[in-house]
Amino acid sequence: MSIDRKPIKVHEAIEAVLKFAKDGEVEYIPINESDNRFLKAAIKADHDIPPFDRSPLDGFAIRAEDTVTASQTNPIELEVIETVGAGGLAKKVPEKGQVIRIMTGAKMPEGTDAIVMFELTKEIERDGKTFIVIKRAFKSGNDISYRAEETRTGDVLVEAGRQVEPGVKALLATFGYSKVPVAKKPIVGVYATGTELLDVHEPLEPGKIRNSNSYMITSQIEKAGATAKYYGKLVDEFDRCYEAVASALEEVDVLITTGGVSVGDFDYLPAIYEKLGANVLFNKIGMRPGSVTTVAEYKGKLLFGLSGNPSACYVGFELLTRPWIQTYLGSKKPHLQLVQGILKADFPKPNPFVRFIRSKVTIEAGKIYAEPVGLDKSGVVTSLANSDALVVLPGGTRGFKKGDEVDILLLNGEGSTEILKK
Ligand SMILES: Nc1nc2c(c(=O)[nH]1)N[C@H]1C(S)=C(S)[C@@H](COP(=O)(O)OP(=O)(O)OC[C@H]3O[C@@H](n4cnc5c(N)ncnc54)[C@H](O)[C@@H]3O)O[C@H]1N2
Ligand code: MOO
Ligand SMILES: [Mg+2]
């Protein structure tokens, strides 16, 4: 096996991966299970909102023409003939001088054309009847919330590809989506390779470490919207690893392995791809961490050979696997959001490759700042817990100084349509 690998640019790697993008199928799920899922169809209004003219206040539905002569010096009295609450319908039709007591959200009673809130009236009782006193005139239409003033039948309110969040869910309920059309989640298999790996419950032993990648990656998979299928860890033995990879591939949409992808004696992934007859899209990317990230394709399915080094593994997933998953789900914004901000610390290390520095973002006086966290090595695991962004430092530069303006990829929140062009 050749250890000379030709690095490609980050965006070339992302584009190569997305050549194998798939569009997931639709499934219908109960609305209560739809949080964070991706809509497979637009939400279109099948009725007006509001669906009828209604009162936006607690007060009285009146005939505006009855109040024409009302003033401070000439108060008028109107008889209250019925009370209607939200969900109810008035049974009577007011005649001249009559009003209906009405609550917020109730349908405008027939024969009325204005609302007067309680606070602008005084109630009096006379001869066993209730009247309101009004001291000013009201125009027809006063304080009515009209049918369709918010949304008309046929309006597209949310595009396909959007993720269900509380506001979207409110619309799903408004339009009667008891079942929601969402993208089926792709199944992403995970194998962690490495003879040195211990399970989470095992005590440390000399020369060994606990397997953190598979927990981190399954969590990243779920966060990206897919279903993680964790197959366990593999010792570095070629035959065992080959069989495991070949058989897992049958059951998943995508297979991630962590570790064993570099040029070491026990890094078997390159040989596994070869034996499988998989098409290796690339085996080196001009970036740090994650330069060894390898992606291969076998019968239309992608194998992501992520680095064993935790930070490299994390970054490889976010830049390459996440967009594939989000594209499958129909997201129009599958890439990490890129913003510009100010570097909060010197970063003197020059590097031929573009560097993704684990960082913490803050907003101060309306400006975005990014502060690198922890040791900047690809084997580092601790900095990941405190990062919410990756500062992007282009390759071939002399290093960066505190106060420099830099590109920052955000790890949380809405994504972007744009591929990072580095
Ligand atoms: N001669 C060269 N050596 C290396 C190169 C190179 O270009 N030439 N690249 C280095 C870079 S860069 C990286 S990144 C690593 C990648 O190594 P592998 O992907 O082959 O991963 P492993 O060798 O299996 O492990 C690397 C490192 O990560 C630890 N590890 C592995 N799995 C896990 C896990 N599940 N949880 C936590 N930590 C894990 C492992 O113990 C090693 O320390 O190669 C460099 N070498
Ligand atoms: O692939 Mo390695 O993480 O570049 O450091
Ligand atoms: Mg290795």
Helix H or strand E encompassing 1: none
CB 353 within 8 A of CB 286: yes
| Residue 321 structure tokens | 């696997």
- 187-193, strands of its sheet edge to edge: 227-234, 187-193, 254-258, 301-306, 294-298, 279-282
CATH superfamily, with its number, for domain 337-410: MoeA, C-terminal, domain IV (2.40.340.10)
| Residue 204 structure tokens | 């440390």
CB 358 within 8 A of CB 376: yes
**Which tens digit of pLDDT belongs to each residue from 279-329?**
999 999 999 999 999 999 999 999 999 999 999 999 999 999 999 999 999
Average pLDDT of the chain to the nearest whole number: 96
Q: Is the pLDDT of residue 105 over 80?
A: yes
Residue 7 has φ and ψ, to the nearest 5°, of: -70, 140
Helix H or strand E encompassing 191: strand 187-193
pLDDT of residue 398: 82
Fold of 59-134: Molybdopterin biosynthesis moeA protein; domain 3 (2.170.190)
Note the ligand closest to the C-alpha atom of 236: 1
Decide: residue 14, CB within 10 A, 0-12 exposed, 13-18 middle, 19+ buried: buried
CB-ligand 2 contact for 262 (6 Å cutoff):
no
Any residues with CB less than 8 A from the CB of 384 and at least 6 apart, and which?
216, 310, 311, 314, 358
Residue to mutate, 295, 378, 383, ligand 2, most ligand atoms under 8 Å from C-beta: 378
Q: Could you identify the residue written with the tokens 């040029």?
A: 263
Distance, in Å, from the CA atom of 225 to the CA atom of 183, rounded to the nearest integer, reads: 10
pLDDT tier, 238 (very low <50, low <70, confident <90, very high otherwise)? very high
Distance, in Å, from the CA atom of 374 to the CA atom of 297, rounded to the nearest integer, reads: 35
56-60, 291-295, 348-352: range with lowest mean pLDDT: 348-352
CB 327 within 8 A of CB 279: no
Q: Which ligand 2 atom sits closest to the C-alpha of 293?
A: 1
pLDDT of residue 307: 98
- Amino acid (1-letter code) at residue 396: G
pLDDT of residue 2: 59
The arithmetic mean of pLDDT across residues 152-163, rounded, is: 97
Q: Which ligand 1 atom sits closest to the C-alpha of 284?
A: 7
pLDDT of residue 349: 85
How many residues are given for the chain? 422
Q: Is the pLDDT of residue 71 over 90?
A: yes
Query: For the domain bounded by 29-49+150-183, which CATH number is listed?
Result: 3.90.105.10
Is the reported ipTM for this assembly greater than 0.90? yes
pLDDT of residue 279: 98
pTM of the model: 0.94
Q: Is the pLDDT of residue 1 over 60?
A: no
- Residue 250, SS3 per DSSP: coil
CB 296 within 8 A of CB 380: no
CA 278 to ligand 3 centroid distance, Å: 20
- Residue 156, SS3 per DSSP: strand
The arithmetic mean of pLDDT across residues 264-291, rounded, is: 98
The arithmetic mean of pLDDT across residues 324-349, rounded, is: 96
CA 306 to ligand 2 centroid distance, Å: 10
Pocket lined around ligand 1, Cβ cut-off 6 Å: 192, 194, 196-197, 209, 211-214, 258-264, 267, 289, 291-292, 307-310, 312, 378-379
pLDDT tier, 3 (very low <50, low <70, confident <90, very high otherwise)? low
Q: Is the pLDDT of residue 11 over 90?
A: yes
pLDDT of residue 420: 87
Between β-strands 337-343 and 367-372, what pairing exists: parallel, antiparallel or unpaired?
parallel
104: left (phi over 0), alpha (psi -120 to 50) or beta: beta
* CATH of 10-25+184-329 given 3.40.50.80, 3.30.300.30, 3.40.980.10, 1.10.520.10: 3.40.980.10
Dmax (CA) for the chain in angstroms is 104
CB-ligand 2 contact for 284 (6 Å cutoff):
no
Domain ranges of the chain: 10-25+184-329, 29-49+150-183, 59-134, 337-410
pLDDT of residue 26: 98
- Residue 248, SS3 per DSSP: helix
Between β-strands 59-62 and 197-198, what pairing exists: parallel, antiparallel or unpaired?
unpaired
Q: Is the pLDDT of residue 224 over 70?
A: yes
CB-ligand 2 contact for 415 (6 Å cutoff):
no
The arithmetic mean of pLDDT across residues 102-115, rounded, is: 98
Distance, in Å, from the CA atom of 364 to the CA atom of 422, rounded to the nearest integer, reads: 28
| Residue 394 structure tokens | 């282009």
pLDDT of residue 78: 98
Q: Which ligand 2 atom sits closest to the C-alpha of 287?
A: 4
